[in-house]
Amino acid sequence: MISEEIVHVNGHPQKLVVFLHGYIDSAPALDRRLQPLLDNLPDSAVHIPQAPEICEILDNKRQWYSMHRFDPDDARKYVPTMEECASIYNRMGLGLAEAFAYLNPYLEDRLSDYGLEHQDLYLCGFSQGAMVAIYASLMQEEQIGGCVSFSGIITPHGYLLKHAKSKPDILLIHGDEDNLVRPESQMFTMRHLQTIGCNVQTYVVPGGQHRVTEDGLIQAASFINHKIIKKIAI
């Protein structure tokens, strides 16, 4: 169960933004990096949940699921081709399914707290959190407002191509010098999401490594706000 979170409320929330931290990370550590996003989301509630699993690498950090369970040698970082890398990520379906099983009730409860609908929900995530955000967005029974992935990858792509229940709009943000989740993951993810039927936007962080950057956060805020403006205009 998710029992810890950091919450920011700005104005009268018309949208719920849930931002998932990465692997070997935590909600407080992520929160310190999100000010450019928080400054540009009017009338919103931003929730940063803490993953309930203690990290297998550092016991003062958290994880949404074990990476070493599926890739004990971290081979995904070193194999020579994107195809080999994606094949390793594709093994992680059980971990994603388990994370979704405890994340989804949390999302439903937070929507209920604000009296909002699924179309008002925006799932964001960094690294492993981005993988969980993409998976959870695609597996929703009702389509959410959108998803923003920072340095993520679609996984398990084989399963999601067959079993995705929803096709939300998605923004993929990735540094072109990412040293942990290789930059080619952005185009790999875009192609598979488009096959599912998602409308996909991309933003490349020039010189960006494996981190959340100010320009990326501003792009994310613009993506979310544009969706809100468009919905109101309709």
Contact predicate 46/36, CB 8 Å: no
3-class SS at 10?
A: strand
Q: Percent of the chain having pLDDT more than 90?
A: 96
Nearest to 120 by CA among 110, 130, 128: 110
Looking at domain 5-233, its CATH class is: alpha beta
pLDDT digits (tens, 9 = 90+) for 114-125: 999 999 999 999
- Which amino acid makes up residue 135? Y
pLDDT digits (tens, 9 = 90+) for 170-206: 999 999 999 999 999 999 999 999 999 999 999 999 9
Query: Could you tell me the two tokens for 58?
Result: 């550092």
Q: How many residues are given for the chain?
A: 234
Q: 232 pLDDT exceeds 60?
A: no
pLDDT digits (tens, 9 = 90+) for 55-96: 999 999 999 999 999 999 999 999 999 999 999 999 999 999
Beta strands in the chain (DSSP E): 5-10, 15-20, 44-49, 53-54, 62-63, 121-126, 146-150, 170-175, 200-205
Rounded to 10 degrees, the C-alpha dihedral 13/116/25/71 comes to: -150
Domain limits, the chain: 5-233
Full-model pTM:
0.95
Q: At what angle do helices 185-196 and 82-89 cross, to 10 degrees?
A: 60
pLDDT digits (tens, 9 = 90+) for 8-32: 999 999 999 999 999 999 999 999 9
